[in-house]
Amino acid sequence: MTRKCTIALLEMMDDGVMDPKTVAEMCLAYMSEDDVEDMMRSNDLLVDEDEDDVDCDDGDDGYALASAGFGTDEDY
């Protein structure tokens, strides 16, 4: 399976057409909280729930996403 869109987006970031932070924000806004948690665990960014390093507790995610310019609180 080729990843044409993934490769195109990576090339846009490499070429300076897209800012990597903007792409990350768009991806995170698109993904569900479970998807984000799974991605963090898969990349060893989230430790076991026994430790207090990162708290992925459901908070006011809509406010954070709206503050980042992705819709309004009601969208989430």
Query: Is residue 28 classed as helix, strand or coil in its secondary structure?
Result: helix
Mean pLDDT of 11-34: 98
The closest of 51, 73, 55, 56 to 64, measured between CA atoms, is 73
Mean pLDDT of 38-66: 72
Q: Mean pLDDT, the chain, as a whole number?
A: 83
In sequence order, which ranges of the chain are alpha helices (DSSP H)?
A: 4-14, 20-30, 33-42, 61-67
Mean pLDDT of 47-74: 62
Give residue 63's pLDDT: 58
Whether residue 53 is predicted with pLDDT greater than 70 in this model: the reply is no
Whose structure tokens read 């044409």? 4
Q: Which residue has the higher pLDDT, 60 or 12?
A: 12
Whether residue 37 is predicted with pLDDT greater than 60 in this model: the reply is yes
